Amino acid sequence: MAGEGNLSRGSWRASKALLVFTATLGLFTENFLYGFVVPILPYMIEVRLGLDPAYTQRFTTELLFILGLISVPSAPIIGHFADKTTSRKVPLLISLVGCTIGTLLVALTPSVWAVYVGRMLQGISGTGAWIVGFAMLTDAAGSRHLGKALGSAGSFITAGVLTGPVISGVLLQWAGYWAAWSVPLALLAICFVARLTMIEERPTDESKTSTSEAQGQAEDERSPLLSLDVRTHDEAAATLLEEANVPSSRGYYSIMFSKGSTYAALFNVTAFSMIISGFDATLPVHLRDEFGWRPAPVGSIFLGIQIPSMILAPFVGWLRDRIGLRWPTTLGWALSTPLFWFLGVPGKDNFLGVGNGPKGQAAFVAAIIGLGIIWSFVRGAGTFQLTSTSSLTICPT
């Protein structure tokens, strides 16, 4: 009776809903932390660290760049060890501890080197959280509900990138530095509670026994009259010879990188990520210097990039299913080019008579929203192509 009571009380802790919530919250938090620091970095560099404003752009770029740089070598290593462990909970807790330490180092800003170390810890821990958390999300959702789960979770995860800069900028301007940092620290605390609470489902001894017994019964009913172990030496030798003559299949990566679509997809992903990272690194300083914007409007400008893509995502997905990836993606990149150029027009130089007044600021916001609309056709195209190519490589038709 006691065992049944413990099982009933703990069943909700092993529920798929809690596992999906825990994984989704972790991925949301990682995205939130990345975007959160963007509007607040100039304040940290100039006020907290007391550095010359001339170094703000340099340190902003480096602190954002180092997060991606450390993720590149750490991802395959983390993925290798994640495959070796049978538990998702332990790696998730380790990544959360590392992320919390890194976030505290960045928030406290005791010195320049400590902030760099904190960002590196955030990068490594965030990579681990993404690898293990996404694997746990797909496991918990199951194949039957994977599309629905990933769609719902994906919208919530993307909201982390959307809300991070806005909350950071608004709270920094209206409530102060530590009021702003209280939000990501509270999110990390909730993640910690959720990861401690969850219980991973593992096959019981009874299920293993019943499975083996059923397999044994099936073998008894369908087994041949002559056992395979009594094959003659000549038959075994012939089998080995035939297996030795079978050519080994090509490796997964050699097949993937023999396709031109793989390189196009990788270029699309890399180029888009570099542009987004460039915006994160330059927009806060540029908008402050050219328009005199404070953290709240600086953080809000990123809404113009993210919201149109979220609204148009269903239509773009339908369009890709109808006509494919090539033409929507090509059109998106082609239309982005003049908008990139126009973003540099508004400013103090009064180029083309636009200036940095209300007219120039309105023109800049319109260009940002235009990019958000156009990027709907570019965003995710590379990942979609890589996934399709990988599926065809693993399961060729």
Structure-model confidence comparison of residues 210 and 83, the more confident one: 83
Sequence-distant (6+) residues with CB within 8 A of 10 are 199
C-beta atoms surrounding 73 within 10 Å? 11
Residue from 268, 306, 300 nearest 168 by CA: 300
Give the CATH number, domain containing residue 158. Answer: 1.20.1250.20
Long-range pairs, 323-331, Cβ under 8 A, ≥24: 325/381, 325/384, 325/385, 328/377, 328/381, 329/268, 329/377, 329/378, 329/381, 331/377
Residues 174, 301, single domain; the answer is no
> Do 149 and 290 lie in a common domain?
no
Sign of the alpha-carbon torsion through 343, 344, 350, 356:
positive
CA distance 195 to 13: 10
pLDDT in tens, 25-74: 998 999 899 889 989 999 999 999 999 998 999 999 899 888 888 988 89
Q: Is residue 226 classed exposed, middle or buried when 0-12, 13-18 and 19+ CB atoms within 10 A define those classes?
A: exposed
Confirm whether 368 is domain-assigned: yes
Over residues 263-281, the mean pLDDT reads 85
pLDDT at 216 over 60: no
Model confidence at 235, pLDDT cuts 50, 70, 90, reads very low
For residue 84, tell me if it sits in a domain: yes
Name the nearest CA neighbour of 301 among 396, 251, 369.
Answer: 369
pLDDT(356) > 70: yes
Structural domains in the chain (count): 2
CA distance 97 to 73: 20
Give the torsion sign (CA, 117, 122, 125, 126).
negative
> H or E segment at 120?
helix 112-141
Report CA 30 to chain centroid distance, whole Å: 8
Which structural domain range is residue 36 located in?
12-201
- Closest by CA to 349, choosing from 338, 358, 341, 357, is 357
C-alpha Rg value of the chain to the nearest Å: 26
Q: For the segment 315-327, what is each residue's pLDDT rounded down to a tens digit?
A: 887 888 788 888 9
The answer to whether residues 178 and 283 belong to one domain is: no
Both 267 and 171 in one domain: the answer is no
The confidence band for 93, taking pLDDT boundaries of 50, 70 and 90, is: very high
Residue 309 or 4, more confident? 309
Q: Are 149 and 71 in the same domain?
A: yes
3-state DSSP assignment of residue 294: coil
Same domain as 280, residue 159 = no
Instruction: Answer yes or no: pTM beyond 0.85.
Output: no
Query: Minimal CA–CA distance to 283: which of 71, 41, 34, 31?
Result: 41
Looking at residue 155, what is its pLDDT?
Answer: 66
Residue 110 within any structural domain of the chain: yes
Q: State residue 51's pLDDT score.
A: 92
Supply 92's token pair: 């998730």
The whole-angstrom separation of Cα 372 and Cα 378 is 10
Alpha-carbon gap, residue 90 to 126, rounded angstroms? 15
Q: Which of 302, 303, 286, 278 minimizes the C-alpha distance to 42? A: 286
234 falls within a domain: no
- Both 170 and 258 in a single domain? no
Cα separation, 93 vs 194, in Å, equals 10
Distance CA 319, CA 175 (A): 44
% of the chain surpassing 90 pLDDT: 35
By the 8 A CB rule, do 188 and 96 touch? Answer: yes
306 & 171 share domain? no
Residue 134 and residue 74 share a domain = yes
Domain check: are 194 and 284 in the same one?
no
Among 3, 122, 106, 133, which residue's Cα sits nearest to residue 48? 106
Residue 318 lies in a domain: yes
Contact in structure between 183 and 163 (CB atoms under 8 Å): no
Q: Are residues 196 and 290 in the same domain?
A: no
